Structure 1
Amino acid sequence: MTGKHTAEALVYSDATRLAELIREREVSPVEVVRAHLDRIEAVNPRINAIVTVAGPLEAAQAAEKALSSGEELGPLHGVPFTVKDSIDTAGVPTQRGSPIFRGRVPAVDAAGVARMRRAGAILLAKTNLPEFSYSTETDNLLTGRANNPWDLDRTPGGSSGGESAAIAAGMSPLGLGTDLAISVRGPAAHTGIVALKPTHGRIPMTGVWPRVPRRFWHMGPMARSVRDIALAYSVLAGPDGADGYATSPPNLDTGVGSAPGRRLRVGWLVEPGFGPVDPEVAATVRAAADALTLTGAVVEPVRIPALERDFALDVFYALHVMEMKPAFAEAAAGHEDEIFKIVKAMLKTPDTPYRDYVLAEQARERLKDGFAEYFRNHDALLTPVVPVPAHEHRAREFVVDGRPVPARFIQGATVPFNVTGLPGLSIRFGTSGDGLPIGVQLVSGRLAESTVLYLAAQLEAMSPVRDLRPSL
């Protein structure tokens, strides 16, 4: 190994580049892991994104020996990765952000973790989250609050907020998060990284808790580059024989770097249908739409009547409360004094009346039909990710473009694609007047992840953003 790459360069190299450097013997897995461990030691006390270090040096040493032995190497050989602390990791605590699960150590990896390890990646650490993964802000009674590396007084989002903050701050090049309504895409937008929520069922949720409502939960990769997302997705996707929703075929085209062979039709939408959107966020979506025209795509403003008829956030809340409350109540039984305020509030939420539940199910079907009609004539949809840049901690209300809205409206533009199961990707394409990242969301039809990955790679190449590293 030459040792010519500085620790700072290593912690801000993307996973694809790290894998190349390791294969070319320019750096060793041990060097890479140590650089990230040093970075965690230096900056995590201020951010609190990492909650458990997994003891990765032994695995790094084994990966180094494999380089010399001529073994067949996986595409992520020697590259560290982090995992949200609701995803099981064999032999490493998975505590779900709750004192109820303090010290819980799974015996078996979640399916996604096992696939990352088989690809040669090294588990570096577990990352912070809200209790039970249930909040748009990362805070809990066990491991505390995570901070945004761009501004410590602001949230990195939730529920995969620790994961997004760790990656943005150079503590990890690549991670696994989960997404119920916003939880990889929103944190990615708040911290300026990239995240993909693939089509529902593309990546098995085996070994992830909570399991309900399973029809809305997704696992997705988070990273600092689109090519890393594509690489991780290619490793993670495909059925595992245990998750009944994970039934789509494992063969897929990630689409990065190769044109689709025809002009893509892209619609862009800010309002109506998602709730109010901050003018800076709206301007960033329009700028991204303008950029996509330069790729040769046919780009046009659109409206989606189904979104205007049925507000997806209301549909989601009517459905998911009834499905999650029993699981949360079972976990909290006998531990009521150990649960955080968000779960307490959820358990006190009145049950959805049966008639309203049925009406919400019908609205969900209308939303699915509405998007099916939209994607009959378009290849992709460009939208905001969140209506405002990263907000201050513990916000209960936002004023968005002069309109006060409840804090739950942060999910207005992301939850439609959990309710319908469509793939969505978040990528930074702007900066607020306060210096905070602003992201945009790309959505495609079912199983068309290659489309959003291709378009995201084009936006990445044309991005006006040059300052990708927070000052810490």
Structure 2
Amino acid sequence: MSTDLHHCDATELADLIRTKRVSSVEVVQAHLDRIAAVDSRINAVVTLADGALDAARAADEAVAAGAEVGLLHGVPFTVKDSFDTAGVLTQRGSPIFAGRIPDTDATSVARMKHAGAILLAKTNLPEFAYWIESDNLLTGRTNNPWDLDRSSGGSSGGESAAIAAGMSPLGIASDLSISVRGPAADTGIAALKPTRGRIPMTGVWPREPRRDWHVGPMARTVRDLALAYSLLAGPDGADGLATVPRDFDAGLGSSPDRPVRVGWLVDSGLGPIDAEVAATVQAAANALQGAGLRVDAVSIPALERDNPLELFTRQHVMEMKPAMQKVTAGHEDQMFTYSKTMVGTPDTSVQDYVQAEQGIERLRDGFVEYFQQYDALLLPVTTIPAHAHGLKQITLDGQTMDAFHVMSTTVPFNLTGLPALSLRFGTTSDGMPIGVQLAANWHAESTILYLASLLESLSPVRNQHPAL
């Protein structure tokens, strides 16, 4: 059975371990074997955590003794290498931090361990977690397990590739503008970016701009996202943006008692979208309508009035550039592509920065208006499917844009702090995964988890894995 364990999700593995049908040692060893078998081609894992098998043996002893165990007892998990992990290398994708070993765990890592999960490995990312592809001078480039010549996304591309390839059942990562949802779409898995502050950022780096960073789970199934989110959410007394009680939810819950209202769009200020991506979103809308939901094609005037990607760029140069200059001072020869680009970008004027902040407030107001009429929004995750390595420009509908256009569909929900989720619902003509994105009102995570679970059950591409 151990040969199949790397395809089981975390929920099933926890049940198998708890009921003694399989041991934690078998589960951990199966994933270590999978890493040994496939990661040389993918380069998703940058560090193996010492003591995973010892922790698995202790987990099995606890089960044998009849001890009360956590919801993820004995289940391995992986972590993006921007999260502090006590006693385990956390190098942030840069030679500047080579050999860095934290003394304490990030809050999210500690919460996973408290639920019984076992840290298996750290995963690759771009330098400082800032870019749409996971590549850096220290640990190299991660490849997409569906096609090694393509990117697995960024900045959580190592995490997405590890989960898609069966090296991990579950992971935690961070999202500034695209970083859990885009990589999930590129590799055919699922990811949740909760409402801003739902999961503390304590022990996660970098923090600028602090209000736009989010922590979220990544997995192969929606039920694993829901399980991990339930364990990770809630204040920790350290992160000033994480203040909402763990059990507060403004969503529909798991069994809505009224018709659910979903709007869907593939344009409305988002710019050009790949035709196969747009068709997949429409197919998901049709599936929800066929399931009895009220589904309407919509437009959101706020997205058309203020371009979210332009707002993001003007805001972030003002805040990210000084932070990047500080951390790279004296280490200019160890800087990779994006940090060099950012440091060389002209400063945003104070006037432009203030105008961007005001535009973001208008965007929030626009979503307030939208969610008075609808429970959720269905739209593309990324403007194009997984792209070739080293993307610099995107050409769609005769328009050529820079690579940042890939995230014009995800960045609105970082700027506003709204929860958003990515899951696979289609396949390109050349066999690459296509995802769809669901967004909901602030603190309404249960709404998009419910809808994602429904879409997952209706998906034409369930339980597909890359051939490795």
| Within-5 A mapping of 1:323-472 | 323-466=319-462, 468-472=464-468
1:96 aligns to 2:92 (yes or no) = yes
CA contact (8 A) 1:275 1:412 kept: yes
CA contact (8 A) 2:250 2:444 kept: no
- Residue equivalent to 1:32: 27
CA contact (8 A) 1:51 1:125 kept: yes
Alpha-carbon shift at residue 167 of structure 1 (Å): 0.1
1:313 aligns to 2:276 (yes or no) = no
1:196 aligns to 2:192 (yes or no) = yes
- Shifted more, 194-203 versus 460-469: the winner is 460-469
Q: How many angstroms apart in 2 are the aligned matches of 1:197 and 1:468?
A: 23
- Find the residue that maps to 1:267 and give its secondary structure: strand
- Residue equivalent to 1:288: 284
- Find the residue that maps to 1:152 and give its secondary structure: strand
Any unmatched runs of 5+ in structure 2?
Answer: none
Q: How many angstroms apart in 2 are the aligned matches of 1:219 and 1:364?
A: 21
Task: Flag the 1:460–1:255 CA change in 2: closer, same or farther, 3 A.
Answer: farther
Alpha-carbon shift at residue 253 of structure 1 (Å): 5.9
- Residue equivalent to 2:9: 14
| Within-5 A mapping of 1:25-104 | 25-55=20-50, 56-104=52-100
Alpha-carbon shift at residue 131 of structure 1 (Å): 0.3
- Find the residue that maps to 1:263 and give its secondary structure: coil
Q: How many angstroms apart in 2 are the aligned matches of 1:113 and 1:170?
A: 20
- Find the residue that maps to 2:426 and give its secondary structure: strand
Q: How many angstroms apart in 2 are the aligned matches of 1:15 and 1:346?
A: 38
Q: How many angstroms apart in 2 are the aligned matches of 1:146 and 1:401?
A: 29
Letter in 1 for 2:325: A
Task: Flag the 1:255–1:422 CA change in 2: closer, same or farther, 3 A.
Answer: closer
CA deviation digits over 1:96-131, x for unaligned, max 9?
000000010000000000000000000000000000
CA RMSD of aligned residues (A): 1.2
Task: Flag the 1:188–1:241 CA change in 2: closer, same or farther, 3 A.
Answer: same
| Within-5 A mapping of 1:149-298 | 149-252=145-248, 258-298=254-294
CA contact (8 A) 2:80 2:159 kept: yes
Letter in 2 for 1:242: A
Q: How many angstroms apart in 2 are the aligned matches of 1:434 and 1:289?
A: 23
CA deviation digits over 1:229-273, x for unaligned, max 9?
000000000000000000011115698993211101100010021
- Find the residue that maps to 1:181 and give its secondary structure: coil
CA deviation digits over 1:396-417, x for unaligned, max 9?
1112233222111011000000
Any unmatched runs of 5+ in structure 1?
Answer: none
Q: How many angstroms apart in 2 are the aligned matches of 1:253 and 1:66?
A: 33
Q: How many angstroms apart in 2 are the aligned matches of 1:324 and 1:185?
A: 21
Task: Flag the 1:20–1:255 CA change in 2: closer, same or farther, 3 A.
Answer: farther
Q: Residue 114 of structure 1: which of 105, 110, 114 is its match?
A: 110
Letter in 1 for 2:13: L
CA deviation digits over 1:360-395, x for unaligned, max 9?
011000000000000011100000000111000001
- Shifted more, 375-384 versus 398-407: the winner is 398-407
Letter in 1 for 2:31: H
Letter in 1 for 2:59: A
CA contact (8 A) 1:188 1:194 kept: yes
- Shifted more, 321-330 versus 129-138: the winner is 321-330
CA contact (8 A) 2:253 2:446 kept: no
What TM-score, normalized by structure 2, do the two folds share?
0.98
- Find the residue that maps to 1:215 and give its secondary structure: helix
CA deviation digits over 1:265-300, x for unaligned, max 9?
100010021111001000000000001112321100
CA deviation digits over 1:349-369, x for unaligned, max 9?
111011111110110000000
Letter in 2 for 1:465: V
CA contact (8 A) 2:254 2:446 kept: no
Q: How many angstroms apart in 2 are the aligned matches of 1:86 and 1:256?
A: 33
Q: How many angstroms apart in 1 are the aligned matches of 2:445 and 2:226?
A: 9
CA contact (8 A) 1:257 1:457 kept: no
Q: How many angstroms apart in 1 are the aligned matches of 2:165 and 2:458?
A: 23
- Residue equivalent to 2:121: 125
Q: How many angstroms apart in 1 are the aligned matches of 2:315 and 2:250?
A: 32
Alpha-carbon shift at residue 467 of structure 1 (Å): 5.8
- Residue equivalent to 1:147: 143
Q: How many angstroms apart in 2 are the aligned matches of 1:468 and 1:355?
A: 49
Task: Flag the 1:322–1:313 CA change in 2: closer, same or farther, 3 A.
Answer: same
- Find the residue that maps to 2:84 and give its secondary structure: coil
Task: Flag the 1:355–1:257 CA change in 2: closer, same or farther, 3 A.
Answer: closer
Letter in 1 for 2:208: V
CA contact (8 A) 2:199 2:242 kept: yes
Letter in 1 for 2:17: I
Alpha-carbon shift at residue 344 of structure 1 (Å): 0.7
- Find the residue that maps to 2:143 and give its secondary structure: coil
Letter in 2 for 1:14: D
Q: How many angstroms apart in 2 are the aligned matches of 1:395 and 1:214?
A: 27
Q: How many angstroms apart in 1 are the aligned matches of 2:250 and 2:112?
A: 17
- Residue equivalent to 1:135: 131
- Shifted more, 326-335 versus 14-23: the winner is 326-335
